[in-house]
């Protein structure tokens, strides 16, 4: 096996044994499952670049050098062909799409294999091993050896060529084999997942290789925050063509997020019917039935027969979004009733639509809240829900996929309000959220440690001057409490997590506990925690001093009291949080956790010092 990073810089030796340069790159032909190396690029005297045919001139390859089968004077240099890619220039340290894992990765090295006198590319190394090898093979070997001592391997993370797609270079002219799974062959939802990992320029480059239909399907699958940005970055004609291929309700959502000038420019480039449908949807308020409906509805009249309706479906209705039901309207497009596809299929061709018509139709108005619409569809198990105006005229339908998106959106909003996550956006906020929700106890522990260091130093100076025993006992117990502080912090964090769970469950007000019952419940938990933590505190003193120290008892008592108080305070904070949520006020999950833990830290450290100094004073009195 060979690796590109190890090959680069190796000497190139001609048939006479003369070093004529060093390897700078190698080229592959892209039209194969495992592409063969076709050309060798090397730097000659004074860093002059040369390229020659691998098949014609390369004799042997080993870890130390490449030997050619001809002398310098007999070499005939060549040029990079249209179907060739240079590995170091076009792949190494570049971003690629792992079309199997649906993610964007960076190429850290490339692995090759020699077979039948040909060198072939196996794939790209995208893991840590490739990074270490790129630094130096000795670094790779050292890290691998250390990991083996701990029973672990430095594994290779290889992506085969047929699951790679290039991003940082325009390869539209490169012919690939049919077995090469390119990005445009993926499902639009998978393409959307990949695009969301890319920067704006790379997203636009990928779009150049998608036709309008697939581009439209992909844009529809993107998260809302990416859709308008992507369309805005495209040229007006291409953006208009893509929006024209989309369902009107999806296109209207994107148009509504663009600037007025951009939106008007795109609408003017569209066909008259498509632009009219989108403009009609833009007139409805957001988060309403009118805002999420599609105006493209399959309609028939009562006088038609089953055969006529089927022919209609095969013709002009073929392009409609999800034909779940056939709606029957009069000449003024007022909704008369609905026919299910099942009834249509099992009926005789000559049967009149009036005989199959169901006039009991669940409908909504264009100004109805989208959450109400989605809940109505869920309640009655509907795949589509007609939207009518005050005169009964059919305006459009809300389809099941739109309803699912609404339910997901509303659920996310409710959860964000309950946990206070609506205020946290961007990379710094994400880092802060990770700290406070995953390692908040460690953060608070660090704050308490720094605070204790700042306070203990002047107190230690006072102790040295006065020789106060009570002050010494207080400082000793506070330092011990600082070591065991994570016990209290994790207890407080668990309390806040339980409160957040109650917020998410959103119980009825009648089912919520009163403050007294909540404190009684938390008190039972607090007593159990107090007993357990007291035993841990006693054991810690024994392990630290080698004996049952004179202040082991007050330290265990301080730990137990702090545990119980922390639980009760956490219960009170939880009760306040639930009351705020009931009043539809935002509650920050991060703030709740941090507050509970800070109060727990203050309680524990304060009680430890108070118990220690009091016990020390009592010992002096008893001894006196």
Condensed to tens digits (0 to 9), the pLDDT of residues 191-218 reads 787 677 666 766 776 677 778 888 888 8
Q: Please, which pLDDT band fits residue 481 given cuts at 50, 70 and 90?
A: confident
Same domain, 141 and 211: no
Same domain, 155 and 8: yes
User: What burial letters (b/e) apply to 155-173, b meaning 16+ CB within 10 Å?
Assistant: eeebbbbbbbbbbeeebee
- Is 426 a domain residue? no
Residue labelled with tokens 């029957």? 328
Contact 275, 309 (CB under 8 A): no
Residue 540: CATH number of its domain: 1.10.357.20
DSSP-derived secondary structure for 280-312: HHHTSPTTBHHHH-BS---EE-TT-BHHHHHHH
Same domain, 149 and 210: no
Contact 488, 624 (CB under 8 A): no
Question: Which one of 115, 131, 166 terminates a domain?
Answer: 166
Beta strands in 19-156 (DSSP E): 19-29, 37-43, 49-53, 58-61, 66-68, 84-86, 95-98, 103-106, 109-115, 118-125
Residue 20: CATH number of its domain: 2.30.30.240
Contact 357, 345 (CB under 8 A): no
Residue 305: CATH number of its domain: 3.10.580.10
The count of other CB atoms within 10 Å of the CB of residue 556 is: 22
Which range among 113-127, 310-324, 363-377, 439-453 has the greatest average pLDDT? Answer: 363-377
Q: Is the dihedral of CA 477, 483, 485, 491 positive or negative?
A: negative
Same domain, 373 and 442: no
Residue 32 phi/psi, 5-degree rounding, is -140, 160
Question: Of the given ranges (249-263, 314-328, 405-419, 580-594), which has the lowest mean pLDDT?
Answer: 405-419
Residue-range definition of the domain harbouring residue 140: 2-166
- Is 275 a domain residue? yes
Q: Is the dihedral of CA 584, 499, 576, 608 positive or negative?
A: negative
Same domain, 81 and 212: no
Residue 189: CATH number of its domain: 1.25.60.10
Distance CA 151, CA 149 (A): 6
- Is 125 a domain residue? yes
Alpha carbon 563 to its chain's center: 37
Q: Please, which pLDDT band fits residue 484 given cuts at 50, 70 and 90?
A: confident
The sheet with strand 299-300 has its strands ordered as 299-300, 325-329, 335-340
Q: Name which residue leads in pLDDT, 129 or 100.
A: 129
Question: Which one of 116, 132, 166 terminates a domain?
Answer: 166
- Is 172 a domain residue? no
- Is 475 a domain residue? yes
Q: Is the dihedral of CA 389, 394, 399, 402 positive or negative?
A: negative
Same domain, 454 and 320: no
- Is 370 a domain residue? yes
| The pLDDT of residue 260 | 87
The reply to whether the predicted model has a pTM over 0.75 is no
Same domain, 464 and 595: yes
- Report the number of distinct structural domains present in the chain: 4
Q: Over the stretch 153-189, which tens digit does the pLDDT of each residue have?
A: 777 777 776 666 554 444 433 333 323 345 556 678 7
């Amino acid at each position: 096996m060979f690796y590109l990073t190890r090959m680069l810089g190796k000497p190139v030796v001609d048939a006479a044994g003369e070093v004529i340069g060093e390897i700078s790159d190698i080229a592959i032909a892209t039209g194969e499952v495992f592409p063969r190396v076709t050309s060798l690029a090397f730097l000659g005297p004074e860093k002059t670049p040369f390229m020659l045919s691998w098949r014609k001139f390369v004799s042997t390859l080993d870890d130390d050098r490449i030997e050619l089968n001809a002398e310098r004077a007999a070499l005939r240099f060549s040029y990079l062909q249209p179907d060739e890619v240079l590995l170091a220039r076009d792949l190494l340290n570049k971003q690629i799409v792992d079309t199997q894992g649906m993610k964007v990765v960076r190429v850290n090295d490339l692995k090759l294999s020699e077979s039948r006198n040909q060198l072939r590319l196996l794939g790209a190394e995208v893991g840590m091993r490739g990074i270490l090898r790129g630094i130096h093979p000795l670094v790779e070997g050292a890290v691998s050896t250390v990991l083996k001592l701990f029973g672990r391997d430095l594994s290779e993370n290889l992506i085969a060529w047929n699951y790679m797609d290039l991003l940082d270079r325009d390869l539209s002219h490169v012919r690939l084999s049919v077995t090469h799974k390119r990005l445009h062959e993926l499902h639009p939802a998978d393409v959307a997942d990949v695009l969301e990992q890319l920067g704006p320029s790379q997203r636009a480059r990928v779009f150049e290789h998608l036709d309008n239909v697939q581009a439209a399907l992909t844009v529809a699958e993107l998260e809302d925050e990416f859709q308008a940005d992507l369309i805005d970055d495209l040229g007006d004609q291409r953006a208009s063509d893509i929006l024209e291929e989309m369902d009107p309700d999806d296109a209207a959502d994107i148009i509504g997020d663009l600037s007025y000038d951009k939106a008007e420019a795109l609408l003017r480039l569209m066909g008259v019917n498509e632009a009219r449908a989108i403009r009609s949807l833009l007139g409805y308020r957001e988060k309403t039935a009118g805002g999420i409906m599609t105006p493209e509805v399959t309609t028939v009249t009562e006088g038609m027969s089953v055969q006529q309706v089927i022919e209609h479906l095969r013709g002009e209705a073929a392009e409609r979004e999800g034909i779940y039901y056939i709606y029957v309207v009069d000449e003024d497009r007022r909704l008369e009733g609905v026919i299910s596809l099942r009834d249509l299929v099992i009926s005789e061709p000559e049967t009149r639509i009036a005989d199959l018509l169901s006039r009991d139709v669940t409908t909504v108005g264009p100004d109805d809240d989208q959450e109400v619409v989605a809940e109505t569809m869920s309640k009655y198990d509907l795949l589509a829900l007609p939207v009518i105006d005050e005169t009964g005229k059919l305006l459009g339908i809300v389809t099941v996929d739109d309803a699912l998106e609404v339910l997901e959106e509303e659920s996310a909003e409710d959860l964000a309000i309950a946990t206070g996550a609506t205020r946290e956006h961007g990379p710094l906020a994400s880092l802060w959220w990770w700290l406070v929700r995953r390692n908040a106890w460690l953060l608070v522990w660090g704050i308490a440690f720094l605070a204790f260091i700042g306070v203990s130093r002047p107190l230690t100076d006072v102790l040295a001057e006065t020789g106060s025993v009570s002050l010494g006992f207080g400082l000793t117990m506070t330092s011990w409490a600082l070591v065991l502080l994570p016990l209290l912090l994790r207890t407080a964090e668990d309390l806040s997590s339980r409160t957040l769970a109650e917020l998410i469950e959103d119980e009825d007000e009648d089912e919520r506990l009163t403050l007294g019952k909540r404190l009684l419940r938390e008190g039972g938990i607090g007593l159990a925690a107090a007993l357990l933590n007291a035993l841990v505190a006693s054991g810690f003193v024994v392990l630290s001093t080698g004996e049952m120290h004179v202040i082991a008892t007050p330290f265990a008592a301080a730990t137990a009291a702090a545990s119980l108080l922390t639980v009760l305070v956490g219960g009170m904070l939880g009760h306040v949080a639930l009351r705020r949520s009931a009043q539809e006020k935002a509650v920050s999950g991060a703030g709740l956790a941090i507050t509970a833990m800070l109060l727990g830290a203050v309680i524990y450290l304060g009680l430890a010092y108070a118990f220690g100094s009091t016990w020390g004073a009592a010992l002096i009195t008893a001894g006196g």
